[in-house]
Amino acid sequence: MTTATLTRSASRTAEGYGFRSVARMEWLKLRSVRSTAWVLIVFAAGMIGLAILVMAHQHWATMSPANRASFDPTNNSFAGPALGQLALGVLGVLAITTEFSSGMIRATLAAVPRRPVLLAAKAAVVGAVTLVAGEILAFAAFAAFAAFAVGEAALRAPAPHATLGQPGVLRAVLMAGVYPVLIALIALGLGAVIRHTAGAICAVVGILFVLPLILVPLGTSIQNSVGPFMPMMIAENSLTAVKPQSHTLSPGLGLGMLCLYAVAALAVGSWLLARRDA
């Protein structure tokens, strides 16, 4: 033990903590746990793997003319978000629930007593990391699908693919990368509300996968009116679709709805985080 390091230094910097320094902490936290890498690997595998899987099961040669007319190769490149959204949803949940399960939250809140600043910094870091991963893999999935289609067409039978220059395609690819980001932010908000890893992941799965199933027995009219507002329906029918489909939100409106969900989840999470004892 050295006495020198225990002597309080006379000159101290007066700078306080703020959004930037707290975001820096959150970035260091996110990259220093193994779960982050695992989740991103699952995300990458899901995005690329499902694109290839779907492509491998397309049979253009035997398709009916009606199916050929509605075939949307861009949209078909993005089966991956079905799995990918779960991976990044888990990332968003873990960013806050592991703080509660480990007791880390008490060290964190001692360092950052203004709790909304903490959640805002977490949202910024989770959002930035998932946006980079989402966009890289959206383009990678699109490219993998197109490459596979080109190969298929050359080797066996004709198989159409989309190019980024076609109308609406670039928008669809960009939005495919944004979608899992918004799911991760919704999940972060739910994590702040629920505070338990298992419970929060169940809530994410419930919203993404179970809610659409509940609509099925309620009849076509409810499905057609409520269904388009489900996150996964927005992803499949609004964000990544190039050919227009019935009973769907426009891409812009779909993106707006998802942003609204994320803002609502984070607002409730922030409010509860600030109110409750930690």
Partner 1 sequence: MIEARGLVKRYGSTTAVDNLSFDVRPGTVTGFLGPNGAGKSTTMRMMIGLDRPDAGTVRINGKNYHDLRSPLREVGALLEAKAFHPGRTARAHLTALAASNGIPRRRVNDVLEITGMGKAADRRAGKFSLGMAQRLGIAAALLGDPAVLLLDEPVNGLDPEGIRWIRNLLKSLAAHGRTVLVSSHLISEVAQTADQLIVIGQGRLLAQTTVAELSARSNSLEEAFFQLTEGSTEYSATNIAYQGSLR
With CA atoms as reference, report the closest residue to 104 among 95, 116, 91, 92. 95
With CA atoms as reference, report the closest residue to 238 among 222, 264, 257, 219. 257
CB of 94 to partner 1, least distance (A): 10
CB of 194 to partner 1, least distance (A): 18
CB of 112 to partner 1, least distance (A): 6
Binding-site ranges for partner 1 (CB under 8 A)? 1-3, 5-9, 12-17, 21-22, 24-26, 28-29, 32-35, 98-99, 102-114, 277-278
Cβ proximity to partner 1: between 3 and 62 the closer is 3
Cβ proximity to partner 1: between 26 and 236 the closer is 26
Phi, psi of 33 (to 5 degrees): -120, 145
CA–CA distance, 100 with 197 (Å, rounded to integer): 9
Cα radius of gyration rounded to whole Å, the chain: 22
Q: Which residues of 56-76 are buried (b: 16+ CB within 10 A; e: fewer)?
A: eebebeeeeeeeeeeebbbbb
CB of 115 to partner 1, least distance (A): 9
Q: How many CB atoms lie within 10 A of CB 163?
A: 11
Cβ proximity to partner 1: between 122 and 161 the closer is 122
Cβ proximity to partner 1: between 22 and 159 the closer is 22
Cβ proximity to partner 1: between 107 and 198 the closer is 107
CA–CA distance, 205 with 50 (Å, rounded to integer): 19
CB of 136 to partner 1, least distance (A): 25
